[in-house]
Amino acid sequence: MSKRQLLSSPSLGTTARASSVLKRNTKLYGPMNALDTTDEVSCWNSDAVPSGTSSSDAGPITFTIHFGPNRTVEIDEIRIQFQGGFVAEECTACLSRGGGEDWEEMEEPIEPEDVNHMQTFAIADADRTCNMLRLSFEGSSDFYGRVTIYKLEVWGSEL
């Protein structure tokens, strides 16, 4: 097993996609912006939930990280920096070992606070190996159901 490192760096071939992007403007608000550790102001921003729908009734917003087709990792920690006021009320993490066909929900809860600073979530599940990670965000502290992430880092080791 190799040493602990930042697994979610785009320079390692990691990619991200999201079920929702503000105004479908992936250049300004796309999910890859949240993985960019060099730009302090870039972010991923989900769009508002449809009019007449509450954020809890709209279903989850998903953010999926693909570590690469031939890359298996073991996750130790997930770090997320939300924009305060645009924080997911509930977050579920799921792992895929088969390229996104089968997902297994992680036992460790991710319970974000409505704050601006980087939050760290240790992962202690027995089996944390995967090639994809999906975060599902339910509800939001924002009235319109939006979620904004400035930084999303996944730490662990290559297998």
**Residues 113, 87: contact at Cβ < 8 Å?**
yes
User: Which residues, 6 or more positions from 49, have their beta carbon under 8 angstroms from its beta carbon?
Assistant: 55, 57, 58, 144, 145
**Residues 75, 67: contact at Cβ < 8 Å?**
no
- Entry pTM: 0.92
Q: What are the pLDDT digits (tens) for 44-85?
A: 999 987 655 555 566 799 999 999 888 999 999 999 999 999
Q: Cα(126)–Cα(123) distance, rounded to whole angstroms?
A: 9
Q: What are the pLDDT digits (tens) for 88-134?
A: 999 999 999 987 789 999 988 899 999 999 999 999 888 899 999 99
